[in-house]
Structure 1
Amino acid sequence: MKERTERIAKIVGEKMQAEAMVVEVEKNNRTRQGVSIKSGDNARAVFYIDDMEKMSEEEVADKIVEVCSKEEMPIFDLTKIANKEFVLEHVIPCMVGRSGNEKFLQNLVHTHFLDLEIVYRVMISDDYSSSFLLRNAMLQDLHISQTELEEKAQHNLIEKDHTKVASITQILSELSGIPIEMVEEMSLPPMYVMTNQNKMFGANSILRKDLLKELSEELGKDLYIFPSSIQEIILVPEDNVTNTMDLKEIVRFGNINTVSAEEKLSDSVYHFNRVTEEIEVMA
């Protein structure tokens, strides 16, 4: 695979008359290969190509060149985004699983949370389509303490991430166009989806104890939490679950059959206690 990527990088470099090189990037539960293209003194763009195995090397190279020619290439000046002020203003916490991500987490700034890890992502674009993860070396270079980072990230989560809680009936009504009154007649079990307005990295909503408390008080019940993916979590009132092991099997089934490796968060089931406002791993 690396040899193929090197050949593609060479073709792209020749076609664009630019410096192109192979990069390997550790992602959540996965290592990805890509072609990095230099533009200017302080800017680079990375194109991941490991999902283009059915295309020829020439076709992949042409696709990269086509995107660049349309000025769609996500290039950013590092001098403008890799500074303390920008980082603290745009950083948010994101959730990843601890198990199986030891290599991925090795050089990243991270904080323990139950059997998960909080990593810190700096959002370059408002729609979250462009971002980068904070590494230990950058944190040291920018003279940002771990405490300052954690506090600012939590502040941004509350003030900027626009976390929302929606019932499954609301979501089905929006997706199908069926009036919510008709969806409610289906007598679906109470279930709520919690994510942000961009529906990206929304599993960080598990850190919004204020919203978990609000929903649990409204329902008059504690909540079970299970991780749909790194993009969202699902909340179920406690009295609608008779066996937490059954719920864990549902999570496992979803992770195996419907969630990609990069989006998988955890196989665990969590419990929010509305009195103590604590979250714990249940199964």
Structure 2
Amino acid sequence: MQYEEFLAHMQTCIEQMATPNYQVQFLSVMKNNDVEQNGVVLMKEGERVSPNIYLNSYYERYLQGESISDLCREIMELRITTMKENVLDEVTEDMSFDRWKDKIIYRLVNRKSNKKRLQEVPFMQLVDLAITFHCLVRNNDDGIGSFLITRELMERWNLTVKELYQLAAVNTPKLFPSSIRTMEEVLQEMLEPMKEPSPLVFSDENEVEDYNQEIPVQLELSQTMYILSNSNGINGASALLYPGVIENFSNRVKSSVYILPSSIHEVILVPFQEDIDKSQLIQMVNEVNQTQVAKEEVLSSSVYYYDRLLKELTV
């Protein structure tokens, strides 16, 4: 069954399961790198908001043998569970600046690949990347929840893009401290998942959660490489923006640094050496993007260079 046909069957099934006081709406949502995902919203009579449940992963499960009726039943149960948490009501209940000013964070995305998405949101440029701004709703064992700050919301708060950045530059490192570890340590933990995690090389705080992102094993160089992310490994490439992180790392290794964008979740730091061929680094980044990173998680195909003396980041 093709994907479009699957969506039609899912819509019929969910509409049959939903009671008359539910309005079922199927829609398409623009995600990172202008990747469109299909979702379903079940709006109950009397409620102001409802979660958008994405269906793309359910199609993969259908192809693996799960039935449409079982998948629809799970979606209905998920919708009920999510609304019991009242998270969405809390979000829309108070949209004042005072409510959210300490929850404003930033993320790094590819500017060219997000042309459609960036039309409606404030952002700042960094080389070929864009710094976008979000409000953190939830950060617990169930995961991270946030919403993107639009131009409309920025204007309602009477803020400029520069002011958003200043707030995010304070909040993001506090909420998601940076983590720098050697590639060898991360790969070793991937091969020995039951082993206790190795200590961090550098960290913004004493206790940091285990880093669990998948690291491309093809990236192998003779010199030591380091993984820069944040404490939970989600949207950790933004740690590249943290004040002093790259400068301090560069001073510790006593060299300028090549920065390889592994994904939106992490970047790879390679201390500069004369014998490193930058074109080889670019080739490796492109290969990893094409073979190991989901389209919506690709950050860039460029390789960046931080000059220790000039304290500048260039492509």
Q: TM-score range by the shorter chain?
A: 0.7 to 0.9
- Map of 1:60 onto structure 2: 71
**CA separation of 1:240 and 1:234: change in aligned 2, threshold 3 A:** farther
1:91-117 per-residue CA deviation (whole Å, 9 max, x = no partner) reads 211011112321122212211111111
Whether the 8 Å CA contact 2:229–2:237 is kept in 1: the answer is: yes
Match of 1:172 in 2: 187
User: After alignment, is 84-93 or 216-225 more displaced?
Assistant: 84-93
Cα distance in 2 for partners of 1:27, 1:241 equals 39
How many Å separate the matches in 2 of 1:178 and 1:131? 31
The aligned counterpart of 2:154 is 139
| Structure 2: distance between partners of 1:63 and 1:145 | 42
8 Å CA contact retained: 1:209, 1:277: no
Given that 1:189 and 1:240 are in contact with CA atoms closer than 8 Å, whether structure 2 keeps it comes out as no
Q: What value does the CA root-mean-square deviation take over the aligned residues?
A: 2.6
2:273 equivalent among 229, 234, 239: 239
Whether the 8 Å CA contact 2:229–2:267 is kept in 1: the answer is: yes
Structure 2 residue 166 is the aligned partner of structure 1 residue 154: no
Q: Which amino acid aligns with 2:125?
A: H
Kindly indicate whether residue 290 of structure 2 is the aligned counterpart of residue 278 of structure 1: no
Displacement after TM superposition at 1:173 (Å): 4.1
Correspondent of 2:236 among 199, 202, 211: 202
The CA distance in 2 between the partners of 1:94 and 1:204, in whole Å, is: 5
Alignment partner for residue 220 of structure 1, among 245, 251, 254? 254
CA spacing shift, 1:270–1:81, aligned 2, 3 Å? farther
Indicate yes or no: 2:27 matched with 1:15: no
C-alpha distance after superposition, 1:169-195 (max 9, x if no partner): 332344423897xxxxxx963111011
SS in 2 for 1:101: helix
Quote the offset at 1:83 in angstroms.
Answer: 3.0
In 1, the alpha carbon distance for the partners of 2:41 and 2:173 equals 34
Uncovered stretches (5+) of structure 2, i.e. residues with no partner: 199-220
Query: 1:166 Cα shift?
Result: 1.0
Give the residue type in structure 1 aligned to 2:169: Q
How many equivalent pairs are there?
Answer: 275
Output the CA distance in 2 between the equivalents of 1:163 and 1:42: 37
- Give me the whole-angstrom Cα distance separating, in 2, the residues matched to 1:213 and 1:108: 29
Question: Gapped runs of 5+ residues in structure 1?
Answer: 181-186
Could you report, residue by residue, the CA deviation over 1:105-139 in whole angstroms, capped at 9, with x for unpaired residues? 22122111111111112111124521111111222
Aligned-residue offset at 1:213? 1.3
Query: How far 1:230 moved relative to its partner?
Result: 0.3
In the alignment, which residue of structure 1 is the partner of 2:122?
Answer: 109
| Match of residue 46, structure 1, among 41, 52, 60 | 52
CA deviations over 1:31-72 (Å, ceiling 9, x no partner) = 111001225533220111023225254343222013235x24
For residue 126 of structure 1, the aligned residue among 139, 148, 152 is 139
Letter in 2 for 1:205: A
Amino acid at match of 1:26: M
Shift of 1:161: 1.7
Q: SS of the residue aligned with 1:171?
A: helix
One-letter amino acid matched to 2:69: E
Residue aligning to 2:106: 93
Conserved? CA contact 2:229–2:236, under 8 Å: yes
Paired residues of 1:221 and 1:274 also in contact (CA < 8 A): yes
Give the Å deviation of 1:240: 7.0
